[in-house]
């Protein structure tokens, strides 16, 4: 039923009412809904201009500073060791600009958006600016899968997991086919900036519903970008699925808040009482009823987002399940069917559409359910290793994650004490941890949990530093702004260290790409191609045209593990021979992560090459290609 | 109010032009032009048309929260999800015709925009 209310509610004041009973919902006549504000109330009009100027200065200085970095100097500790002081000055200027914008008497959304865009470019756009090529070997694989679909218009579902969750690659292939642009390297290069820009509206929509006032919401978005070190914002299905997930949750919290059940049952009553005890302030107001058609369409939108997520990425839908369940149990989502669909969709997809993957990976998927030790080992212990600089990076990442979660916990306590909304954010922060005992996800699960948890946690982290009741809409005081700036500076510096800690391993040079191009030009179709370490910018074409093999995984050697010998390579060579690619990034990775032989990867390869049957096909500064003759009785 | 209506009309016109242009351009044309039109259309076209159909001002009237971030997020996410689902369906059915899929999305978008236009004309006539 359409409700044509002859009044409107001011945006900021409604949020005040979220906080508690002290500030009543202000309902004003539509004709006088926005009384002209006194000039003095809006502050000095030159200040926003000055703050915008700081943003532009920070952008120019930050990009210039990044451009001066020599990528060859980046070592085991990552980018932070080679960044000039001017970069940190630019970053500091931007942080101060954002905090200053947040402290204005009247919030200017355009100014805050500008500050965040600058932050995205200088904090998350360092790789494309410095290297000018896609980051991570996975980016190149993703380009290869897209290329495969573009060329064939089909899937090889037995090849690997990607072809069983092809939605994102189908989207890219559709873009490529429908525009005639077949080389999407530029898109992969600038994806970190693009993905973070696309996330901004969804993050803001989410934090607006998680927080008690718009300043906290903006600060929450800012904190997300500051603490987002996981680097999953490359051209990947998980980045796309995260966008869909955040939009879904924001839509649910905004359009469908409330309890999914009537308070008649015993359990429902208990849950309500518990939620009320935890969040004693007045609950968030139910929106005035929307037209039934709009509600139905928006519910359908939620289902479409869930379905899109399901076909695009294997993990994100499983993160959506606990988040939606907890929000429903906390009285934050009244869509009863959505958690059920969130469970049904990925399970049905796994069983019915991803059958080849399911059959081949039953043990991987279900073998470690409930084994918390295995999950902890894979996510924590097995990742701590490498040379001292790399260990510093790994420990910094763990520390940053822990700090954010601890601050979010403190924010929850503070929120409860101040009777301000905090429960939905806390539930969203905790919910992804439900996945921890299910499986290790290749040792990446803790990292992914952090990614799913961060949008919610960020909103809580800033909560203690912003004025809430009883001062209401007044801007933060100087002391609070200084504290916010200090916290932001510490976390941003930490993120420069953690996000770019593996920069020497994760980025590639044009010479390395030339080696891979030469490999495809040299090796006949169907050959066996071997990488010495799993860190090669290849497979961006001919994804299924060769048999790809790896000698050493890019992870620290486990204690007691025997050192690999030349046989670890030759055993991969069939009788028809094979091609081995050794690149500069592989050598750095082996050195930094401490994987492979203690003599160093290059010495190891040189020693094996002396055995005979090896010939150098191509060599440049980025690496070398060897042709390995196969034994007559080879595989 | 008039400026808001004008803004909505401008957005609708831009989306309609992009959708209309995407139909031929998804099949042929200079690659750069196709990318400049079809790319943004796939990113936000169908979702923006849906948001215009839902009339965000009404949501705003009812609830009071800033609706713009959610509207933009839904516009982008729905567009991407629709393209993802469509491409997946084509891949699983072995009917890979991406240009036709873009044209289909464009026609869906134009249909929504036509409904928006029809509704606003009806309202204008009534008032």
Same domain, A517 and A395: no
pLDDT at A593 over 80: yes
Average pLDDT, chain A: 86
pLDDT at A36 over 60: no
pLDDT of amino acid A581 = 96
- Quick one: average pLDDT of A558-567? 80
pLDDT at A323 over 80: yes
Position A268 confidence tier, pLDDT thresholds 50, 70, 90? confident
Q: Which two tokens stand for residue B20?
A: 């209309």
B19 has a chain A CB within 8 A of its CB? no
* Position with higher pLDDT, A105 vs A322: A322
Compute the distance between CA of residue A496 and CA of residue A62 in angstroms, rounded to an integer.
Answer: 13
Residue A555 lies inside a defined structural domain of this protein:
yes
- Quick one: average pLDDT of A610-629? 92
- Quick one: average pLDDT of B45-49? 96
Residue A80 lies inside a defined structural domain of this protein:
no
Structural domain for A467, as ranges:
134-476
pLDDT of amino acid B114 = 95
| Count of CB pairs separated by less than 8 Å, A with B | 175
Pick from A37-41, A52-56, A87-91, A608-612: least confident: A37-41
pLDDT at A276 over 70: yes
pLDDT at A32 over 60: no
pLDDT at A212 over 80: no
Helix ranges, A474-600 (H) = 478-499, 503-506, 510-522, 567-570, 584-593
Q: Which residue of A has its CA nearest to B53?
A: A294
Q: Which of A333, A329, A168, A174 is nearest to A248 (CA)?
A: A333
Same domain, A472 and A576: no
Considering only the beta carbons, identify the residue of A2, A167, A202 that sits closest to B87: A167
Residue A200 lies inside a defined structural domain of this protein:
yes
pLDDT of amino acid A303 = 97
Residue A502 lies inside a defined structural domain of this protein:
no
* Position with higher pLDDT, A130 vs A263: A130
The contacts of residue B61 (CB under 8 Å, 6+ apart) are A5, A8, A288
Same domain, A624 and A557: yes
Residue A390 lies inside a defined structural domain of this protein:
yes
On chain B, the residues whose CB falls within 8 A of the CB of A180 are 29, 31, 34-35
Q: Which residue of B has its CA nearest to A157?
A: B92
Position A149 confidence tier, pLDDT thresholds 50, 70, 90? very high
Asked whether the beta carbons of residue A153 and residue B86 sit closer than 8 angstroms, the reply is no
Position A29 confidence tier, pLDDT thresholds 50, 70, 90? very low
pLDDT tens, position by position, A371-422:
777 777 766 666 777 888 899 999 999 999 999 999 999 999 998 888 888 9
Same domain, A371 and A432: yes
Residue A519 lies inside a defined structural domain of this protein:
yes
Compute the distance between CA of residue A505 and CA of residue A135 in angstroms, rounded to an integer.
Answer: 9
pLDDT tens, position by position, A423-464:
999 999 999 999 888 776 767 888 999 999 999 999 999 988
Phi/psi for A474 (5° steps) reads -65, 150
pLDDT of amino acid A274 = 87
The contacts of residue B42 (CB under 8 Å, 6+ apart) are A171, A174, A175, A178, B79, B80, B83, B102, B105
Distances from the Cα of A322 to the Cα of A262, A273, A452, angstroms: 22, 21, 11
pLDDT of amino acid A635 = 52
Pick from A38-52, A472-486, B81-95: least confident: A38-52
CA atoms within 13 A on the CB side of A263: 11
Q: Which two tokens stand for residue A459?
A: 């909103």
Asked whether the beta carbons of residue A155 and residue B91 sit closer than 8 angstroms, the reply is yes
pLDDT at B117 over 80: yes
The alpha carbon torsion through B85, B91, B96, B102 (nearest 10 deg) reads: 10
How many Cβ atoms are within 10 Å of A169's Cβ, its own excluded? Answer: 27
Distances from the Cα of A41 to the Cα of A38, A214, B32, angstroms: 5, 18, 48
- Quick one: average pLDDT of B78-84? 97
Same domain, A445 and A567: no
pLDDT of amino acid A632 = 64
Asked whether the beta carbons of residue B73 and residue A248 sit closer than 8 angstroms, the reply is no
A107 has a chain B CB within 8 A of its CB? no
Pairing state between β A614-620 and A623-628: antiparallel
pLDDT of amino acid A293 = 86
- Quick one: average pLDDT of A230-247? 96
Same domain, A446 and A529: no
CB A533 within 8 A of CB A552: yes
Phi/psi for A577 (5° steps) reads 95, 175
Position B3 confidence tier, pLDDT thresholds 50, 70, 90? low
Position B113 confidence tier, pLDDT thresholds 50, 70, 90? very high
Q: Shortest Cα distance from B98 to chain A (angstroms)?
A: 5
pLDDT at A25 over 50: no
Compute the distance between CA of residue A593 and CA of residue A243 in angstroms, rounded to an integer.
Answer: 32
Compute the distance between CA of residue A33 and CA of residue A38 in angstroms, rounded to an integer.
Answer: 15
Residue A104 lies inside a defined structural domain of this protein:
no
CB A569 within 8 A of CB A589: no
Number of domains in chain A: 2
Same domain, A198 and A288: yes
Share of chain A above pLDDT 70, in %: 87
Asked whether the beta carbons of residue A153 and residue B65 sit closer than 8 angstroms, the reply is no
B59 has a chain A CB within 8 A of its CB? yes
Q: What is the DSSP string of B29-42?
A: S-HHHHHHHHHHHH
pLDDT of amino acid A321 = 96
Residue A91 lies inside a defined structural domain of this protein:
no
On chain A, the residues whose CB falls within 8 A of the CB of B78 are 301, 304-305
pLDDT of amino acid A473 = 57
* Position with higher pLDDT, A76 vs B36: B36
- Quick one: average pLDDT of B75-87? 97
Pairing state between β A27-29 and A7-9: antiparallel
pLDDT of amino acid B81 = 98
What residues pair up with A16 in beta bridges, in sequence order?
A: none
Q: Which of A204, A202, A189 is nearest to A248 (CA)?
A: A202
Asked whether the beta carbons of residue B84 and residue A290 sit closer than 8 angstroms, the reply is no
Binding-face residues of B in 27-46 toward A, CB within 8 A: 29, 31, 34-35, 38-39, 42
Q: Shortest Cα distance from A69 to chain B (angstroms)?
A: 31
Asked whether the beta carbons of residue B96 and residue A153 sit closer than 8 angstroms, the reply is yes
Domain boundaries, chain B: 2-126
CB A165 within 8 A of CB A192: no
B118 DSSP 8-state letter: H
pLDDT of amino acid A41 = 57
Q: Which two tokens stand for residue A627?
A: 């042709």
pLDDT of amino acid A26 = 33
pLDDT at B124 over 60: yes
Position A633 confidence tier, pLDDT thresholds 50, 70, 90? low
Share of chain A above pLDDT 90, in %: 60
pLDDT at B56 over 80: no
Q: Shortest Cα distance from A565 to chain B (angstroms)?
A: 43
């Amino acid at each position: 039923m359409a409700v044509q209310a002859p009044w409107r509610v001011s945006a900021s004041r409604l949020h005040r009412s979220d906080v508690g009973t002290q500030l009543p919902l202000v309902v004003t006549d539509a004709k006088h809904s926005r009384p002209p504000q006194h000039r003095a109330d809006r502050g000095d009009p030159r200040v926003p201009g000055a703050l915008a100027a700081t943003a532009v200065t920070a952008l120019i200085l930050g990009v210039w500073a990044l451009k001066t970095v020599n990528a060859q100097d980046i070592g085991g500790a990552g980018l932070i060791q080679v960044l000039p002081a001017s970069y940190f000055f630019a970053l500091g200027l931007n942080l101060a600009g954002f905090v200053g914008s947040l402290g204005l008497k009247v919030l200017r959304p355009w100014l805050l958006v500008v500050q965040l865009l600058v932050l995205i470019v200088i904090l998350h756009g360092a790789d494309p600016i410095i290297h000018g090529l896609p980051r991570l070997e996975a980016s190149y694989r993703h380009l290869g899968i897209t290329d495969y679909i573009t060329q064939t218009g089909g899937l090889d579902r037995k090849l690997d997991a990607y072809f069983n969750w092809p939605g994102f690659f189908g989207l890219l292939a559709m873009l490529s086919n429908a525009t005639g642009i077949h080389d999407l390297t530029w898109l992969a290069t600038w994806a970190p900036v693009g993905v973070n820009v696309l996330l901004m509206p969804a993050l803001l929509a989410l934090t607006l519903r998680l927080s008690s006032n718009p300043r906290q919401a903006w600060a929450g978005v800012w904190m997300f970008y500051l603490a987002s070190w996981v680097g999953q914002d490359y051209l990947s299905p998980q980045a796309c699925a995260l966008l869909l997930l955040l939009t879904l949750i924001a839509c649910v919290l905004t359009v469908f808040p409330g309890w999914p059940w009537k308070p008649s049952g015993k359990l429902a009553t208990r849950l309500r009482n518990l939620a009320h005890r935890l969040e004693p302030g007045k609950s968030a107001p139910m929106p005035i009823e929307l037209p039934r058609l709009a509600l139905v369409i928006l519910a359908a939108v939620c289902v479409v987002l869930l379905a899109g997520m399901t076909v695009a990425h294997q993990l994100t839908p499983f993160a959506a399940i606990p988040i939606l369940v907890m929000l429903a149990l906390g009285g934050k989502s009244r869509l009863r069917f959505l958690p059920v669909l969130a469970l049904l969709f990925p399970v049905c997809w796994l069983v019915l559409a991803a059958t080849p993957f399911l059959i081949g990976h039953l043990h991987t998927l279900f073998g470690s359910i409930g084994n918390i030790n295995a999950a902890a080992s894979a996510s924590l212990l097995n990742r701590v290793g490498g040379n001292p600089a790399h260990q510093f990076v790994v420990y910094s990442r763990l520390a940053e994650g822990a700090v954010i979660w601890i601050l979010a916990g403190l924010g929850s306590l503070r929120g409860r004490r101040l009777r301000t909304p905090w429960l939905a954010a806390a539930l969203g922060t905790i919910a992804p941890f439900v996945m921890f005992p299910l499986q290790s996800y290749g040792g990446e699960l803790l990292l992914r949990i952090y990614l799913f948890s961060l949008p919610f946690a960020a909103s809580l982290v800033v909560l203690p530093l912003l004025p809430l009741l009883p001062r209401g809409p007044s801007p933060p005081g100087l002391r609070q702004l200084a504290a916010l700036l200090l916290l932001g500076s510490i976390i941003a510096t930490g993120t420069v260290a953690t996000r770019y800690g593996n920069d020497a391993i994760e980025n590639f040079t044009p010479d390395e790409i030339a080696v891979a191009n030469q490999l495809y030009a040299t090796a006949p179709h169907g050959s066996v191609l071997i990488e010495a370490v799993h860190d090669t910018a290849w497979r961006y074409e001919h994804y299924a045209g060769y048999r790809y093999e790896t000698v050493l995984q890019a992870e620290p050697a486990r204690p007691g593990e025997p050192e690999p010998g030349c046989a670890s390579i030759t055993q991969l060579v069939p009788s028809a021979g094979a091609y081995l690619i050794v690149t500069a990034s592989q050598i750095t990775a082996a050195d930094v992560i401490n994987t492979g032989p203690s003599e160093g990867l290059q010495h190891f390869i040189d020693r094996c090459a002396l055995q005979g049957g090896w010939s150098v096909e191509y060599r440049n500064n980025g690496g070398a290609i060897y042709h390995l003759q196969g034994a007559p009785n080879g595989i | 109010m008039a400026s808001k209506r004008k803004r909505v009309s401008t957005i609708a016109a831009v989306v309609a032009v992009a959708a209309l242009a995407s139909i031929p351009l998804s099949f042929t044309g200079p690659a750069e032009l196709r990318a400049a039109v079809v790319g943004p259309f796939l990113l936000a076209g169908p979702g923006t048309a849906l948001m215009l159909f839902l009339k965000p001002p009404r949501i705003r009237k009812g609830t009071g929260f800033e609706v713009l971030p959610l509207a933009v997020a839904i516009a982008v996410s729905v567009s991407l999800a629709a393209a993802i689902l469509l491409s997946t369906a084509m891949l699983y059915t072995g009917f890979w015709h991406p240009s036709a899929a873009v044209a289909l999305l464009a026609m869906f978008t134009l249909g929504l925009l036509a409904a928006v236009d029809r509704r606003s004309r009806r309202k204008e006539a009534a008032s």
